[in-house]
Structure 1
Amino acid sequence: MTLSGLYVPLITPFAADGSVDLPALERLAADVLAAGATGVVALGTTGEPSSLTPAERASILDLLTGVCRGHQLIVGAPAPPTATAALTLVPPFVRPGEDGVIAHLTAAAAASPVPLVIYHVPYRTAQPLSARAIRRLAAIPNVAGMKLAVGGIDADTIELMADPPFAVLGGDDVFISPLLALGAAGGILASAHIATAEYASLVTSWQPALGHRLARLSAALFAEPNPTVTKAVLHAQGRIATPDVRLPLLPASPESVRAALQLITPAPVA
């Protein structure tokens, strides 16, 4: 498979009664795909999967499998055979070391019915990886690429991007512009629920001024734990029925929501 372009890790909208609002999710998915996204990510962190029941997760996958016909659907691992790829986290918390990470992901790739997109986010997993280790991961059969979210542009990122061994998708929204300038193939960006067409334009044709402006928007949308501000903005735009999140998340503050709304270029809601 070819990984490139913009992927939107979808929120899970909730109705007023607390249930998953599937019609709203269907509209959001259709909106971002129509606005230029290559595909969507289902049941990633942005979708609050740990707070969903098995039945809710299954209903989301069924819905998005239908909406994404003709587009790519990446699913938080484990992914069904109908997905394009499985977003697979570097083992968190246990800190197995680079050799342990490689052994674990080699086994996961061999068992997966679809290619893996490895999610490297060391400030969440507590497991750093050198550029050399990432190149070893790229050599594993059935690994398609990596969502890279190391919290900035560090020395290993510079070394890796000098000659990327596979598709690297930026996963830190605020830093997507410099990563694209270094040669990233695209991004998995929760911020792209908002101003999707502009994020898609940035990914396909990097523009410094647009990158700077969208970085400010991304920073505002991530001012509180993701996806709380994004959900509140979508609600303010009339695109979802409630801004609700499930514990352990709490709703975004009015101040953060106002700050994000002030950075959005006025445009008609789809």
Structure 2
Amino acid sequence: MTIEGLFIPLITPFATTGEVDLAALEALAHTVLDDGADGLVALGTTGEPGSLTEDEKRAVLDVAARVARERRAPLLVGATPPEALARPEITAALAVVPSFVRPGEDGVVAHFARLAADSPVPVVAYDIPYRTGQYLTAGALRRVAAIPGVVGVKYAGGGVNADTIDLLADPPAGFAILGGDDLFISPLLALGAHGGVLSSAHVATADFAELIAAWRAGDAATARALGHRLSPLSAALFAEPNPTVVKGVLHARGQIPTADVRLPLLAAGETSVKAALQRA
């Protein structure tokens, strides 16, 4: 399957009793696909995998895989050991650059080479230096792209800089570059990104799908207008740690049973949720 277009990194809804609400998750996955998303991400950081038990992770993955199979949609999966990835519904594993240790670019390249060699599915690297502490230049990302089995990157560099322009001006062949900074997705698409993995698109799926389609079709006027409207929405949705405001908005709309998150996250404040609802 092609890894391009709009991917939704699914939140994990919690019931009033505290457990994962799998029915709400399934309904949400179908809704975003109905509204124009091209694919799903299960157990990405937006899904709070660090606070889920192993049984809960398996249940979440089962739901996402079932929806992906029924809808013939690509599915990326994070926070999952290699042995759990060997199922036909999974398109690729989403693997973050090692955090905290800052292994250097050579170490990152070696890390992804080992991951790709051990993985039963292709790998999409997740480059997010403001969380990992490890910055990657365009040259390092090209080295990652050259690894057999690495098929793309979720690119969340914190904005647009010289390396961003370098990478997108001459992207590696067969290597999907998906914007991962919601606030900057429009300029990344304008520079040539192949799509995005966007938590904000839980809230305005059709609009983000139209934004991606407009840039890819060369309709700059439509794309600019959408980008100018959606960037403030993304800013509002990220006013508190992701996915707290997104969950607050989805709960306010009746799409999930609670806005609950698990520690170390705290639920978003009422002011932040109201501000995001006004932008939606």
TM-score by shorter chain over 0.5: yes
* Residue number in structure 1 paired with 2:225: 209
Q: In the TM superposition, what are the counterparts of 1:223-234 in structure 2 within 5 Å?
A: 223-234=239-250
Q: Could you say what secondary structure the match of 1:68 adopts?
A: helix
Distance 1:169 1:127 in 2: 19
Give, as a single letter, the amino acid of the residue that structure 1 aligns with 2:93: A
Mark the runs of 5 or more structure 1 residues left unpaired by the alignment.
265-270
* Residue number in structure 1 paired with 2:86: 81
Structure 1 vs Structure 2: percent identity of aligned residues? Answer: 64
Q: Could you say what secondary structure the match of 1:205 adopts?
A: helix
Distance 1:127 1:172 in 2: 16
Report how far residue 2 of structure 1 moved.
2.4
Compute the TM-score of the two structures, normalised by the length of structure 1. 0.96
* Residue number in structure 2 paired with 1:246: 262
Does residue 158 of structure 1 match 2:165? yes
Q: In the TM superposition, what are the counterparts of 1:47-196 in structure 2 within 5 Å?
A: 47-69=47-69, 70-78=72-80, 80-82=85-87, 83-165=90-172, 166-196=175-205
Judge conservation of contact 1:109–1:141 (CA < 8 Å) in 2.
Answer: yes
Report how far residue 77 of structure 1 moved.
4.1
Aligned residues: 264
Judge conservation of contact 1:2–1:144 (CA < 8 Å) in 2.
Answer: no
Distance 1:81 1:71 in 2: 17
Give, as a single letter, the amino acid of the residue that structure 2 aligns with 1:262: Q
Judge conservation of contact 2:2–2:74 (CA < 8 Å) in 1.
Answer: no
> Which deviations, in whole Å up to 9, do the C-alpha atoms of 1:94-145 show, x marking residues without a partner?
1111111101110100100000000000000000111111111110000110
Residues 66 and 144 of structure 1: is their aligned pair in 2 closer, same or farther, counting only changes over 3 Å?
Answer: same
Distance 1:129 1:65 in 2: 31
Alignment root-mean-square deviation, CA: 0.8
Distance 1:72 1:81 in 2: 15
Distance 1:230 1:31 in 2: 15
Distance 2:267 2:96 in 1: 26
Does residue 262 of structure 1 match 2:269? no
Compute the TM-score of the two structures, normalised by the length of structure 2. 0.93
Mark the runs of 5 or more structure 2 residues left unpaired by the alignment.
216-222
Judge conservation of contact 2:29–2:67 (CA < 8 Å) in 1.
Answer: yes
Does residue 200 of structure 1 match 2:205? no
Distance 2:145 2:213 in 1: 23
